[in-house]
């Protein structure tokens, strides 16, 4: 079901948007299609549209909000037949089908502007395909290791900075009768997070992207080294037993109850961990440590984006809207805890006074050398992601099956990337 909001400068003049400087250069109508249909994101999107409208009195902003799942099935049709001027989507490989079909506009000129080039540097790789930039990010969130700080203190452990420290911590935790990590692989994608980090730390961001783009054989020795590193943890008994029986939420109690000391997960796990009773003194976060000292530290940070369709009618206004979206002030506002509650992509923005968000913002904003990955099931085509993540889960349960698993993944690569 489509819902349409027509904003006017007069209506917004009754709100804080009236205080914004106005620009009369833009004219006509700016049509925006958005999948931000849940209540909080919808409120953010409507407010952004209204504030931008108030800044441009000769421009009419027309916002159409579409249910998120319906949007996924409709996007190709509306980009082809009756494109808006701006549309929501996702970064990295999820952009590729629409770039290949010439449905997204090349906006590399925006990325050459200092305000964007300097302040969004950490996300440029996620917005780049074939050496060009095809959209701008508006929000993302960190992944990393969330851990029981009280257990680490009890055992005299500190946050690890390299692979040897990581394994030594794990052995101390195991010796205390606890598991190092909780995980629920019932729905497969959590195993994808482990593969992402182990592969990026072993071989680097560029190699990881080449692998997810089908440019590297799964039987390559460098891929095998990633699995060899993973097997070190499996053979230690680092992960909770029977993890294939649990969803990611069902794996949370192992950490809350102190049966496991940490969870490699996205920042969305913090709220349920706190709601389950973990206090500020019990819960902390660290960046997944280095394995290969010769590769920069890349991160998983799934990123939501805005794009200009190639068939847009008001590309001048669309470009100005994208500049507005990524501006430091707007990024601070829309990512606040009472709005999206995630991380701003502009390094000059500020973050709510939340320990985890501040650590994630510092990690990602300073991370442009390492690169920002989107998570395995976004970086790889859907069919490849499905086959691979099945293999990841199988490997965690039956590591001796590695040769068979890699053989199946390589056969799938030959079929899927034709």
Q: Which domains does the chain have, with CATH numbers?
A: 2-141+302-372 (3.40.190.10), 143-300+381-416 (3.40.190.10)
Whether pLDDT at 117 is above 80 = yes
Report yes or no: 266 and 243 within 8 Å, Cβ to Cβ: no
pLDDT tops 50 at residue 41: yes
pLDDT at 10 over 50: no
In this prediction, residues 151-166 reach a mean pLDDT of 98
Among candidate residues 7, 407, 389, 416, the one with its CA nearest the CA of residue 196:
389
Residues of the chain above pLDDT 70, percent? 94
For the cut 50, the answer to whether the pLDDT of residue 20 exceeds it is no
pLDDT surpassing 60 at residue 8? no
How confident is the model over 207-219, as a mean pLDDT?
Answer: 96
Residue 6, pLDDT > 70, answer no
| pLDDT of 92 | 86
Asked if residue 69 has pLDDT above 90, the reply is: no
Tell me the average pLDDT of the chain: 92
Q: How confident is the model at residue 342 (pLDDT cuts 50, 70, 90)?
A: very high
Distance between CA atoms of residues 230 and 194, nearest Å:
8
Strands (E), 236-349: 260-266, 283-286, 299-300, 303-307
Alpha-carbon distance 211 to 224, whole Å?
Answer: 12
Two structure tokens written together for 41? 């994101």
In the predicted model, what is the mean pLDDT of residues 206-222? Answer: 96
* DSSP state letters, 81-122: HS--SEEEEESGGGGHHHHHTT-B---HHHHTSHHHHHHSGG
Closest among 53, 48, 62 to 23, alpha carbons compared: 53
What distance in Å separates the CA atoms of residue 201 and residue 236, rounded to the nearest whole number?
Answer: 20
What pLDDT score was predicted for residue 22?
Answer: 52
Per-residue model confidence (pLDDT) at position 341 = 87
Q: Kindly state the average pLDDT of the residues 208-224.
A: 97
Angle made by CA atoms 267, 273, 278, in degrees to the nearest 5: 125
Q: How far apart are CA 199 and CA 210, in angstroms?
A: 12
**Cβ within 8 Å of residue 62, ≥6 positions away:** 4, 5, 6, 7, 29, 30, 31, 32
Structure tokens at 281: 């003194």
Contact 139, 304 (CB under 8 A): yes
Helix, strand or coil, per DSSP, at residue 18: helix
For the entire predicted model, the pTM comes to 0.86
Overall average pLDDT of the 374-395 stretch: 95
- Per-residue pLDDT, 156: 98
Q: Do the Cβ atoms of 22 and 55 come closer than 8 Å?
A: yes
3-state secondary structure 319-359: HHHHHHHHCHHHHHHHCCCCCCCCECCCCCCCCCCCHHHHH
Q: Which distant-in-sequence residues (6+ apart) come within 8 Å of 291 by Cβ?
A: 162, 163, 198, 201, 202, 229
Task: State the pLDDT confidence band at 322, using cuts at 50, 70 and 90.
Answer: very high
DSSP 386-398: HHHHHHHHHHHH-
pLDDT of residue 371: 87
What is the residue whose two structure tokens read 């913002």? 361
Handedness of CA 356, 360, 361, 362 (dihedral sign): positive
Give the DSSP letter of residue 241: T
In the structure, what pLDDT confidence band is assigned to residue 24 with cuts at 50, 70 and 90?
low
pLDDT at 18: 33
Q: How confident is the model at residue 23 (pLDDT cuts 50, 70, 90)?
A: low
Q: Which of 83-87, 267-271, 289-293 has the lowest mean pLDDT?
A: 267-271
Cα gap 358→348, rounded to integer Å: 13
Tokens describing residue 279 = 């206090």
pLDDT tier at 9, thresholds 50, 70, 90: very low
Q: Nearest CA to 354 among 274, 253, 299, 300? A: 274
Give the per-residue pLDDT at 418: 82
- The confidence band for 367, taking pLDDT boundaries of 50, 70 and 90, is low
CB 119 within 8 Å of CB 151: no
Span between the terminal Cα atoms of the chain, in Å: 36
Q: Mean of the pLDDT values across residues 48-72?
A: 95
Radius of gyration of the chain (CA): 22
């Amino acid at each position: 079901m489509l819902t349409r909001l027509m904003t006017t400068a007069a209506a917004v003049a009754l709100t804080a948007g009236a205080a914004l400087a106005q620009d009369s250069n833009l004219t006509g109508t700016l049509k925006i299609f958005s999948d931000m249909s849940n209540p909080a994101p919808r409120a953010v999107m409507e407010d952004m549209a209204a504030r931008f409208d108030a800044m441009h009195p000769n421009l009419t902003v027309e916002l159409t909000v579409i249910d998120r799942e319906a949007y996924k099935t409709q996007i190709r049709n509306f980009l082809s037949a009756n494109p808006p001027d701006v549309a929501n989507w996702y970064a990295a490989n999820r952009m590729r089908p629409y770039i290949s079909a010439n449905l997204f506009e090349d906006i590399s000129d925006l990325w050459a502007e200092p305000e964007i080039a300097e302040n969004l540097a950490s996300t440029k790789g996620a917005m780049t395909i074939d050496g060009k930039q095809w959209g701008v990010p508006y929000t993302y969130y960190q992944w990393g290791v969330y851990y029981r700080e009280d257990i680490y203190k009890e055992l005299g452990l500190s946050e690890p900075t390299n692979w040897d420290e990581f394994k030594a911590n794990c052995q101390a935790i195991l010796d205390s009768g606890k598991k190092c990590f909780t995980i629920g692989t019932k729905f497969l994608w959590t195993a994808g997070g482990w593969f992402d980090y182990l592969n990026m730390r072993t071989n680097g961001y560029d190699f990881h992207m080449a692998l997810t783009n089908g440019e590297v054989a799964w039987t390559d020795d460098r891929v095998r080294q990633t699995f060899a590193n993973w097997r070190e943890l499996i053979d230690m008994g680092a992960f909770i037993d029977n993890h294939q029986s649990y969803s990611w939420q069902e794996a949370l109690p192992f950490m809350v109850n102190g049966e496991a000391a940490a969870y490699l997960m996205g920042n969305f796990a913090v709220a349920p961990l706190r709601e389950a009773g973990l206090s500020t003194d019990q819960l902390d976060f660290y960046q997944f440590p280095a394995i290969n000292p010769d590769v920069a530290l890349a991160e998983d940070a799934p990123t939501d984006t805005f794009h200009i369709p190639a068939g847009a009618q008001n590309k001048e206004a669309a470009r100005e809207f994208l500049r507005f979206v990524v501006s430091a002030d707007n990024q601070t506002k829309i990512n606040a805890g009472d709005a999206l509650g995630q991380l701003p992509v502009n390094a000059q923005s500020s973050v709510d006074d939340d320990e985890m968000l501040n650590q994630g913002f510092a990690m990602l904003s300073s991370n442009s050398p390492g690169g920002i990955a989107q998570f395995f099931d976004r970086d790889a085509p859907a069919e490849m992601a499905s086959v691979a993540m099945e293999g990841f889960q199988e490997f965690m349960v039956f590591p001796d099956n590695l040769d068979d698993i890699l053989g199946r993944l390589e056969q799938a690569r030959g079929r899927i990337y034709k």
